[in-house]
Amino acid sequence: MAAYNFSIVHLSVFFCYTISLVSFVYGGGFSVDLIHRDSPLSPFYSSRDKASDRAESSIRRSIERCSHFSKKKPTSENSSNKLGNITSTVVPGVVGDYLMLLAVGTPALPLLAVADTGSDIIWFQCTPCDVCFPQTFSPVFAPENSSTYENIPCATKECDALSSVSNLIPCDGNACKYNASYGDGSISIGNFARETLTFQSTESTESVVSVTNMAFGCGHNNTGIFSALGAGLVGLDAGPFSLVSQLGPAIDHKFSYCLVNVNANRIASKLTFGSNPKLVSGSKVVSTPIIFKENQSFYFLTLEAISVGGIRIPFNTSTSSNNEVLLQKGNIIIDSGSTVTSLPTDFYAAFEAEMKKAITVDPVIDPNTSLRLCYPGDSDPSLVPSVTAHFTDADIVLNPLNLFQLNGDNDELACLAFLPTDDVAIYGNIVQNNFIVEYDLVNKLVSFMSTDCQME
């Protein structure tokens, strides 16, 4: 793929193909580029940053992100978050790891937003700003300049349904209001509205997809740890106002992504809306049920065990009165926005112990990383044992690049990209690298197919 020149001038050209502008075709689909924030393609990337600093920041973002999924409420005495015995302070821009380009309004204003499988609403900063974070990458969206902008009235089914994903706010006149809040204390508050969203299709450099009447939050009060390079957030979870849910039958209620390794040379990952034509049925595809929990729209899966070589380590979360081991359904969240995979403390300890037994190289301590188990980066990859994640009805074989994150400024260390947690378990994005991962919201399935995402 061609490299991006991240400037607003370029983006204006990027979306200027008015002749080839197409309406969204019912039953069709499209793909867009998904850009890791630490990739050289990203505006967050700086060659002056040390690789070790980027690696540690990604780990800290994962730790902080646990608060987004946690049922535990932070107290005023301790607003930091904890993964195992590691406490994280606030890291700027922790909302997610992946970015996407899109445009809002008519005429279309290009924006860069976080694409997040752990969020259930679309929102962008809007004028007038009561309180806005600095936005340097693109102008703040001005609804008065768009001919297709429309506030959603209070007395509508949409406004009534908003209470399932947003804190309730009294209507301002007849305008429905939303309040998106995050576990780290960040908030976005504003008018709930309808607007046209436009996407650049990766299938053709001269093809864009325009979708009308999309419900979104027009944020007039946005505070917290959002980055000045972003303009907002595109929710991809199962909530009623996520991008996936609103596209609905037009994409067969499906979306997928194929994540390249962050160290891949200037290659973007791909996010596909609709049935993925490359996810063919057969022995290479495995599927596991999505467990939807009450009042939550995250994607919960059931991880039954992890095998290291021939040793199977069960994921046990509770014990009955007669000491029969029980497995809780929906015991882990699959999340594209978390770098590392977090496992319950005892489960992680058993997994780490088996990895140490299997790898016949002495581990080393890296004082610059929060990861627990590290080896010299030039160690023979063949020493890494076969590791399989056993989900209900789906066994996923992980390769060394799914298990280890290269740390240090010259990749001198390879550290196990897992951490213990005393809170919610999360299946992060490193273990998802080089898999097509498809979410089917109707059949409530997540499917995996091993592939080379650089070739997709």
- Which CATH number do you get for residue 404? 2.40.70.10
**Whole-number pLDDT of residue 440:** 96
Same domain, 229 and 260: yes
Same domain, 292 and 418: yes
User: 10-residue block means of pLDDT along the chain (456 residues)?
Assistant: 36 34 50 87 78 74 68 42 35 63 94 88 93 83 97 90 75 85 79 94 73 95 71 91 94 95 80 88 88 90 96 76 71 92 95 96 84 89 93 96 82 89 92 96 96 88
Do the bridges between strand 208-223 and strand 21-23 make them parallel or antiparallel, or are there none, so unpaired?
A: parallel
Instruction: Establish if 280 belongs to a structural domain.
Output: no
Instruction: Establish if 167 belongs to a structural domain.
Output: yes
Same domain, 131 and 259: yes
Q: Tell me how crowded residue 402 is: count the other CB atoms within 10 A of its CB.
A: 20
DSSP assignment of 276-293: -TT--SSTTEEEEE-BPP
Instruction: Establish if 1 belongs to a structural domain.
Output: no
Same domain, 430 and 450: yes
Same domain, 269 and 333: no
**Whole-number pLDDT of residue 79:** 37
Closest to 339 measured CA to CA, from 117, 49, 63, 41: 63
Q: How far apart are CA 301 and CA 295, in angstroms?
A: 16
Same domain, 250 and 328: no
**Whole-number pLDDT of residue 59:** 74
Which of the residues 33, 116, 366, 440 is marked catalytic?
A: 116
Last residue of a domain, one of 219, 240, 273: 273
**Whole-number pLDDT of residue 18:** 30
Cβ contacts of residue 456 below 8 Å, gap of 6+? 258, 270, 278, 436
Instruction: Establish if 3 belongs to a structural domain.
Output: no
Where do the H-state alpha helices sit in 39-92? 51-69
Looking at the structure of the chain, the number of domains it has is 2
Last residue of a domain, one of 273, 304, 320: 273
**Whole-number pLDDT of residue 417:** 94
Which of the residues 97, 237, 335, 440 is marked catalytic?
A: 335
- The CA-based diameter of the chain, rounded to the nearest angstrom, is 70
**Whole-number pLDDT of residue 226:** 66
Same domain, 235 and 371: no
| 335 catalytic per annotation | yes
Last residue of a domain, one of 273, 308, 343: 273
Q: Which range of residues forms the domain containing residue 383? A: 285-455
Same domain, 252 and 193: yes
Same domain, 356 and 450: yes
Same domain, 252 and 302: no
Where do the H-state alpha helices sit in 89-144? none
Instruction: Establish if 345 belongs to a structural domain.
Output: yes
- Which residue type is seen at 392? T
List the structure tokens of 235.
């929710």
Instruction: Establish if 195 belongs to a structural domain.
Output: yes
**Whole-number pLDDT of residue 435:** 96
Same domain, 219 and 320: no
Q: How many CA atoms lie within 13 A of 308 on its CB side?
A: 19
**Whole-number pLDDT of residue 45:** 77
**Whole-number pLDDT of residue 265:** 64
| 423 catalytic per annotation | no
End-to-end CA distance of the chain: 11
What letters, b where the CB count within 10 A reaches 16 and e where it falls short, cover 103-130?
A: bbbbebbbbbbbbbbbbbbbbbbbeeee
Instruction: Establish if 2 belongs to a structural domain.
Output: no
